[in-house]
Structures are given as structure tokens and as C-alpha cells.
Amino acid sequence: GAGVSQSPSNKVTEKGKDVELRCDPISGHTALYWYRQSLGQGLEFLIYFQGNSAPDKSGLPSDRFSAERTGGSVSTLTIQRTQQEDSAVYLCASSPRGARNTEAFFGQGTRLTVV
Amino acid sequence: GENVEQHPSTLSVQEGDSAVIKCTYSDSASNYFPWYKQELGKRPQLIIDIRSNVGEKKDQRIAVTLNKTAKHFSLHITETQPEDSAVYFCAADAGGTSYGKLTFGQGTILTVHP
């Protein structure tokens, strides 16, 4: 694809259910980021994958959140036992070669609503 | 870890005026500083970036300045237009084991009044 693709675009789930959010980065990009954006708020860092290195998970807000990246490409962010405060737009971004000084390209985001 | 502070949180200007947004960062190993623009309901997109080997970069009506000693950088928009209205985010990358990781400021809502 031409850009970073995220699915689903919108997700409504009941409190207590688990959800999986998917990110397809730009082909060949080795760095992948997940951010969370609550209504009218900034970009909150969640997790960062850099090539074959151990991911930086320092932004995950609780142990209900986890993410994996299979084969260095597609990433899945999983939220277990969702809470209403998890409602936000979840943005994925990728950058080429994992090097510094390179632009991060964002997907269109997944809007998660927990009811 | 890196901490990026951005000010102001909101900025309102008249069309044709200039707008300035300022950011500070904490990690002295940071050497890449991008600025993103996010229009309502859309994804953030890069508008300009600067690397630590230069102090200023300009692209038409947009310029960014960097002061590595003071650990701050600024976005300058001249001759503002209504279509410049958006949320602007600064960011700084990380060194060390998480090199390349981008930490964003809290964002500035810019409103340009016709």
C-alpha cells in the first residue's frame, strides 16, 4: 500500500471486552510506533518497535495493554478488559530503516469507543 | 526519558499575522526535531523538520529555529492564512537504546481568523 493502514477505522465495544487494533506499516519501514490521542489532547506515546530490538513499552498505561509485531511488519495492539477511559483514537506510525532523523508517517487511526 | 513541553496550548491570530510556537526538550542526545500539522479529523502530517547540525530551516512561509544549548526549538509561520488553522505538534527523537523514538509535545491549537 501507499501509506500506513489501520483497521478497523472505528470500533465500539462494551466495557470489559477485549479489542485488537491492527497496523500495516509502509513496506520496508523497520520502525513502528503506537500513540493514543484522547479528544482534544496530544499524542501519548504507547510503544515503539525498532527493527529486531526489544520494543520500548514504557508508554503502555497498564498491563491490560500489549502489542506485538510479527515478522517485522504488521503490528497488533491489544487492550484487554476495556474501560471507558480507554476511549480514544489510536494512531500507528512507521518510519524507514529505523534510523534517526527520518519522518514518521501516520495511519488514519482507529477510533475506539468503550460503552 | 525524553520530555517535550510545548507552548502555547492555544493561539489565535488574524489572517496575515505571524504565529510562533515554542518547544523545549530534555534529552541532550536528541538530534531530530519534526513539526506535524493535524487538521480536524485527519492524521498528523509532517510540515517541516530540523536536525541538530543546523540552527534554522525555512520552507516558504514556515521556518523552524533550534537552540541546542538551551534545548528549545520554535515554529514560525508568517503571513498566516485560514487554512493554517489546525493543531501543531512538535517532537524530539531519542538517543540510547530507544534511538529514533519520537516524543511529542502536547499540541497547539492555532486559529487564524479571516
The tens digit of pLDDT for each residue in B91-107 reads 999 877 777 789 999 99
CA separation for the pair A33, A75 (Å, rounded): 9
Which tens digits make up the pLDDT trace of B28-62?
A: 888 899 999 999 999 999 999 998 888 999 999 99
The nearest alpha carbon in chain A to B92 belongs to A101
Phi, psi angles (nearest 5°) of residue A42: -85, -170
The nearest alpha carbon in chain A to B41 belongs to A108
CA nearest to A101, candidates B33, B2, B41: B33
The residue-averaged pLDDT of B64-71 equals: 95
Provide, as residue numbers in chain A, all residues whose Cβ is less than 8 Å from the Cβ of B44: 43, 91, 106
Residue B92: CB partners within 8 Å, gap ≥ 6?
B2, B4, B23, B25, B27, B30, B32, B33, B102, B103
- Taking the alpha carbons at both ends of chain A, their separation in whole angstroms is 33
What length does chain A have?
115
**Count of C-beta atoms within a 10 Å radius of residue A76:** 14
Mean confidence (pLDDT) of chain B:
94
pLDDT(B2) > 80:
yes
What is the reported pLDDT for A37? 95
Q: Which residue has the cell 500507528?
A: A92
Contact B107 A42 (CB under 8 A): yes
What is the reported pLDDT for A52? 83
What is the reported pLDDT for A88? 97
Which grid cell is B62?
Answer: 514556515
What is the reported pLDDT for A99? 52
Collapse the DSSP code of A85 into the 3-class scheme (helix H, G, I; strand E, B; otherwise coil) and give the result. helix
CA separation for the pair B18, B81 (Å, rounded): 10
What is the reported pLDDT for A11? 98
pLDDT (tens, 9 = 90+) of chain A, 115 residues, equals: 579 999 999 999 999 999 999 999 999 898 999 999 998 788 999 999 988 888 999 999 999 999 999 887 999 999 999 999 999 999 999 998 655 567 899 999 999 999 9
Q: Are B23 and B39 in contact (CB under 8 A)?
A: no
- Is it true that the peptide bond before B8 is cis, omega within 30 degrees of 0? yes
Handedness of CA B6, B63, A106, A54 (dihedral sign): negative
Q: Which A positions 59-88 lie with beta carbon below 8 A of chain B?
A: none
